[in-house]
Every structure is written in C-alpha cells, then in structure tokens.
Amino acid sequence: MIERSLVIIKPDGVERSLVGEIIKRFENTGLKLVGMKMVWVDKKFAEKHYSAHKSKPFFRELVEFITEGPVVAFVLEGVHAVENVRRLVGSTSPHEAAPGTIRGDFAHLSMAYASKKGTGGKNVIHASGSKQEADGEIKLWFGKDELHSYTTVHEKHVF
Ligand code: IDP
Ligand code: MG
C-alpha cells in the first residue's frame, strides 16, 4: 500500500548538521520525497502538532524544544511508508534505539547533553506514528500546492 508520512528533523538535528545524512538514509531505501521545507515554528503551531501530548508532563519542554530553532520538514511516499519510516527512525528513547537507526546512531549524543540540562526529548527526528497521524500531520504542515507527484527512476525501471 502506497502511503505518505511526515518527518521532521528537529532543531538538534539541524544544529548538528545532520540534515543531509538523514535524508540520504530515507532516499537510499527508495522512499520518495514529495515535499520539503525549513521552518521555524511558533509555540501555537508546535502545540497543535503535539496536541496529542497535551496532558503529558513533558508537554511544555517538548514545545520549547521544537521551537528553539528551525526544523526541516518533509513528506516521504512509498510502500508502507509510515511503518518503514518509523523503522529507520528507531525507538523514541535514544538509549533503546537500535544501532543503525537514526536515533540509535545520532540521538544518544543529544540525550547526553539534554540530561545534563535536566530536559529530555532531544531525539533528532520526528516521524508520524500511524497512517491517521500522518494524514493529520501532513495537512497541518503542508499545503496541497507544496506536495508533488512525479515518477522516480526506481518506479520507471524497477517496478
Ligand atoms: P515518537 O516521537 O517516537 O513518536 P512520542 O511518544 O510520540 O514519540 O513522543 C513525542 C516526543 O516527545 C518524542 O519524540 C520526544 O521528543 C518527546 N518525549 C517522549 N517521551 C518523553 C519523556 O518521557 N520526556 C521528555 N520528552 C519525551
Ligand atoms: Mg509520536
């Protein structure tokens, strides 16, 4: 099933110059970029994006963190994209994320820094957790005219 998923490289990932490395990992698997932008979101927008976490004790710091610098947001399209993107991203807590995943390879450094400051959640990247979440998040972050349909060489020559 062809799906679309939203990915956000969080401020820690952008500030650590991990954008190219992260996008490469998705492209390598054949996932297709269908929209992409750099944005510095405000608190109101961040609260909307994380509205499902409103009642969590870490909600405030999550909103603070995601608004502390620009992020790179993009939409990936592919077969079972939601699940496959999550697999490449790895577990939420960097110390549980497997080596080879984006969080497993990069987020532990952020976490070491974050725990010193007494804050959590600096795990480099966001990815939609379900098809339903993806649909809502893509609508929130991208206008219809910012998403593009085209054919990759994989589709042309492999399938
Ligand atoms: P996910 O990003 O893997 O989908 P969620 O449970 O949806 O994980 O949580 C959203 C974000 O909230 C996480 O990526 C992380 O940045 C932050 N977060 C989750 N749990 C905690 C926590 O216990 N303390 C601080 N931040 C957290
Ligand atoms: Mg989530």
Q: What is the CATH number of the domain that holds 58?
A: 3.30.70.141
Confidence band, pLDDT 50/70/90 cuts, at residue 98:
very high
3-state secondary structure of 66: helix
Listed in sequence order, the residues at least 6 apart from 15 whose beta carbon sits closer than 8 Å to its beta carbon are: 69
Residue whose CA lies nearest to ligand 1 atom number 18: 121
Count Cβ atoms within 10 A of the Cβ of residue 139 and give its class: 0-12 exposed, 13-18 middle, 19 or more buried.
exposed
CA of 13, nearest ligand number: 1
Catalytic residue numbers read 126
pLDDT on residue 154 = 84
Q: Is 62 in the pocket of ligand 1 (CB under 6 A)?
A: yes
Residues 128 and 110: their CA atoms lie apart, in Å, by 21
In the reported structure, the alpha carbon of residue 87 is separated from the centroid of ligand 2 by a whole-number distance in angstroms of 13
For 80, left (φ over 0), alpha (ψ -120 to 50), or beta?
left
Q: Ligand 2 centre and the CA of 122: distance in Å?
A: 13
Mean residue pLDDT of the chain comes to: 93
Q: What is the pLDDT of residue 118?
A: 45
Which residue segment(s) compose the domain that 128 sits in?
2-158
124-147 mean pLDDT? 98
For ion ligand 2, residues whose CB falls within 5 Å = 129
Mean pLDDT of 88-98: 91
CA 156 / ligand 2 centre spacing (Å): 33
Read off the pLDDT of residues 27-74 as tens digits, 9 standing for 90 and up: 999 999 999 999 999 999 999 999 999 999 999 999 999 999 999 999
Q: What is the pLDDT of residue 20?
A: 98
Distance CA 52, CA 67 (A): 17
Tokens standing for residue 149 = 């349909």
111-123: pLDDT as tens digits: 655 555 544 688 9
* Ligand nearest to the Cα of 56, by number: 1
CB 121 less than 6 A from any atom of ligand 1: yes
Please determine, for residue 95, whether its predicted confidence score (pLDDT) is greater than 70: yes
Count CB-CB contacts under 10 A for residue 122: 22
- Is residue 14 pLDDT above 90, yes or no? yes
Q: Please count the structural domains in the chain.
A: 1
